[in-house]
Structures are given as structure tokens and as C-alpha cells.
């Protein structure tokens, strides 16, 4: 998979984890202290009420005497009573809460059950970071699996292309050139292998076209010659209808252009021709020459049209049809066309089907 694309896909996978971590940090440092403070206020309200009862009836206190040096005032509150200052507080002892009041010399206290509350401070301090670490760890595992899967998939395609090349060369030497049908099948097989090789090239390094001047119509004729018999079988002996207008000379890589057109025709033959006519229009459009392949097939949804040129993507209808494919043809075609300064796009056909448009710079635009 192309380095830049792999980076962005990895970044997309990481977004939820980063968002969760950011929200967790915001909650931990902004909201959590407020919740903990509110909990403490609620607890103190209960203990203050008990301290008030002890202050009103010190003779009923469970504990009285001189204030011990080790007592901690958590928190210490000062109140005025009979002209003097009175402090109160509470402290945990042996699983109980000692609520006390005192005037600096004597203290009175009562042992009560602690307020039944969740220790939010501990929960937030350890729970939020632990959850964030778990999410980040799971994301790291997903990223590792994704990168390994993407590389293994490309390695598989590379191995497939390599293993097919040798027997195809041997077959071409074995088959006699007078056997046109066998040579046509071989040409198509070699184009399929070429698709895989071009796909890997586009995924790993910049495509460098071998630019020359040629007629876009002649490139179409060459690509169509590999499918002519198949289209005639589907269309009761008729060829695909072609309309040509204007000067169709372009400046591009002829072989890459033929391969891109080959992919469009192969796509139309597999998925659209069984459902209706396929029509081709080649015309001059300002500074570009454009080839359109319009079909009357099942078509693609708006979402599928946005993704149809993605690497390894196959539309739902293509998968359910049972027709084989790697999902690399259209992706390779578009990357090749863009490398030549052109564009390959798709839009909906009316009333049904799709229109694939391949545009390349016309010769006049290069002078």
C-alpha cells in the first residue's frame, strides 16, 4: 500500500483513541476535581450536622477529654459559640468516622458509620488513565494488524503476478501465431498480469509515463480488439457502438492508455453488458480528448461511485454477482491516467447504469 495512503488510514484508525484520550485528560483535570470537591461537600454536610448535634449536647458525646496531639482536622471549621471559637472536623479511625468538636482545650466526639460513597478521587486518578492506556493499547494492536494485513495483501498480489509471468511467456512461445483465438486470450491474460504489476508500481513509487503523440481512437481500437468476440457474443453479433468526433490526438503514454481503456471495457463486459447496451463516445473537449464508456447495467450507488476507484474495492453488486476480480483494475487505471495529467471519473447514467469518463491532454494543449 502506498506510504501516504497507509499513513492517512492509520491516522483515521487512531482518531477515536486520541479523541478518547483527550477527553479523558480534559475530564481528569477539569471535571474530576469539581466532582470530587462536590462529593466532599456533601459528606461534610452530613458530618457537620452530626458535629452540631454533639456541640448542642456535649454530655451525650461518646468521647470527651483533652485534644490528642495526633488528631487531624479534615477539614477544620471554626464556629462562634458563647463568645469563643469552636472547631469541628472528622477523621477516619478503625473503619469508623470520628466526628469531633472542640474549643482548643477540650474535645467531644461521636463515632459514626462513614458516609456510603464511592471514592471518586481514587477512581478518577487510576481509572481514567487505565482506561486510556487500554484504548491506546488496543489501537496499537489494530494498527499493527492493519499494517501487516495491507503489506501481506500487496505481497500476495506481487507473488501472484510474478508466478503468472513465467507460464504466460512459455505459452506464447508454444502457441502458434496463426491461432488468433489463443493469442487473443493470451493477450488478455498478460493484460491482467500487467494490471497487477502496474497496481504494485502505483502503490510503491511514482509512475513515470513514456509520453508520445497518438490517436485516442486507435488506442481504443487496440483495447477493444481483445474483447470484440466477447461483446459480439453478448450483443447477438453486434459490436459496441462507437461515436467519434473532433481531433482525438493526445500526448500521453500509449501503453498505459490502452491498459486503462482495457480495464474500462473489461469492467463493462463483466458487470454491465449482460443487462443492456454498452456505448462508447470519443470526442474533443477543449484542451482534452475524452473517452466515455456508458452502460445500462445495474449501476452504482452514490457511495459506491465515491469508492469505486479505491484500492481493492469491489461494489456490493460485483461481489454478489460471483464474477471474479481483485479490485485493482479501476484503481490502477485512474492512477495511470492521473500520472499522465488526465482524469478518470464515473457518474450515474440515465435512466440506469454508469458512465466512465477518461480524459487526457490533447496535443494542442502541449504546444
Task: For 51-84, write each residue's pLDDT tens digit.
Answer: 888 878 877 777 666 554 444 444 344 444 444 5
Q: How is residue 240 annotated by DSSP?
A: P
The answer to whether residue 185 scores a pLDDT higher than 90 is no
What are 174-182's contacts with CB under 8 Å, separation 24+?
Answer: 181/229
Sheet strands (E) in 238-277: 241-245, 249-253
Is 356 inside a domain boundary?
Answer: yes
Q: Same domain, yes or no, for 79 and 212?
A: no
Between 273 and 2, whose confidence is greater? 273
Which of 61-75, 128-142, 149-163, 283-297 is predicted most confidently?
Answer: 283-297
Quote the pTM value: 0.54
Mean pLDDT of 312-319: 71
Between 102 and 9, whose confidence is greater? 102
Mean pLDDT of the chain: 77
CA atoms within 13 A on the CB side of 255: 9
Which residue range is the domain that position 84 belongs to? Answer: 3-112
Is 191 inside a domain boundary?
Answer: no
Confidence of residue 244 (pLDDT cuts 50, 70, 90): very high
Is 107 inside a domain boundary?
Answer: yes
Residue 294 sits in a domain whose CATH number is: 3.30.565.10
What are 113-116's contacts with CB under 8 Å, separation 24+?
Answer: 115/42, 115/43, 115/46, 115/47
The answer to whether residue 96 scores a pLDDT higher than 60 is yes
Q: Are 28 and 77 in contact (CB under 8 A)?
A: no
Domain boundary among 112, 139, 155: 112
Amino acid at each position: 500500500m502506498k506510504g501516504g495512503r497507509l499513513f492517512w488510514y492509520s491516522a483515521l484508525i487512531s482518531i477515536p483513541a486520541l479523541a478518547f484520550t483527550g477527553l479523558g485528560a480534559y475530564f481528569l483535570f477539569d471535571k474530576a476535581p469539581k466532582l470530587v470537591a462536590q462529593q466532599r461537600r456533601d459528606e461534610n454536610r452530613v458530618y457537620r450536622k452530626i458535629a452540631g448535634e454533639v456541640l448542642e449536647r456535649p454530655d451525650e458525646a461518646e468521647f470527651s477529654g483533652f485534644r490528642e496531639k495526633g488528631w487531624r482536622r479534615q477539614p477544620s471549621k471554626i464556629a462562634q459559640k458563647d463568645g469563643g471559637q469552636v472547631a469541628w472536623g472528622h477523621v477516619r479511625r478503625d473503619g469508623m468516622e470520628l466526628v469531633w468538636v472542640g474549643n482548643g482545650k477540650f474535645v467531644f466526639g461521636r463515632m459514626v458509620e462513614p458516609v456510603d460513597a464511592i471514592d471518586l478521587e481514587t477512581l478518577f486518578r487510576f481509572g481514567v488513565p487505565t482506561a486510556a492506556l487500554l484504548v491506546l493499547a488496543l489501537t496499537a494492536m489494530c494498527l499493527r494488524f492493519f499494517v501487516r494485513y495491507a503489506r501481506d495483501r500487496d505481497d500476495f498480489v506481487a507473488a501472484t503476478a510474478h508466478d503468472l509471468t513465467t507460464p504466460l511467456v512459455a505459452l506464447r512461445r508454444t502457441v502458434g501465431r496463426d491461432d488468433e483465438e489463443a493469442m487473443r486470450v493470451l493477450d488478455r491474460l498478460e493484460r491482467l498480469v500487467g494490471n497487477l504489476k502496474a497496481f504494485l508500481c502505483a502503490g510503491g513509487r511514482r509512475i513515470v509515463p513514456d509520453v508520445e503523440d497518438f490517436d485516442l481512437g486507435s488506442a481504443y481500437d487496440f483495447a477493444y480488439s481483445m474483447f470484440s468476440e466477447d461483446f459480439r457474443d453478448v450483443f447477438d453479433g453486434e459490436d459496441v457502438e462507437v461515436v467519434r468526433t473532433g481531433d482525438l490526438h493526445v500526448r500521453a503514454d500509449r501503453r498505459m492508455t490502452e491498459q486503462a481503456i482495457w480495464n474500462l471495457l473489461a469492467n463493462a463486459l463483466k458487470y454491465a453488458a449482460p443487462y443492456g447496451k454498452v456505448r462508447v463516445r470519443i470526442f474533443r473537449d477543449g484542451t482534452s480528448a475524452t473517452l466515455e464508456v456508458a452502460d445500462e447495467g445495474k449501476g452504482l450507488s452514490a457511495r459506491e461511485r465515491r469508492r469505486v476507484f479505491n484500492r481493492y474495492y469491489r461494489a456490493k453488486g460485483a461481489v454478489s454477482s460471483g464474477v471474479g476480480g481483485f479490485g485493482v483494475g479501476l484503481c490502477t487505471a485512474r492512477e495511470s491516467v492521473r500520472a499522465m495529467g488526465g482524469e478518470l471519473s464515473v457518474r450515474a447514467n440515465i435512466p440506469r447504469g454508469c458512465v466512465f469518463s477518461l480524459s487526457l491532454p490533447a496535443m494542442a494543449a502541449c504546444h
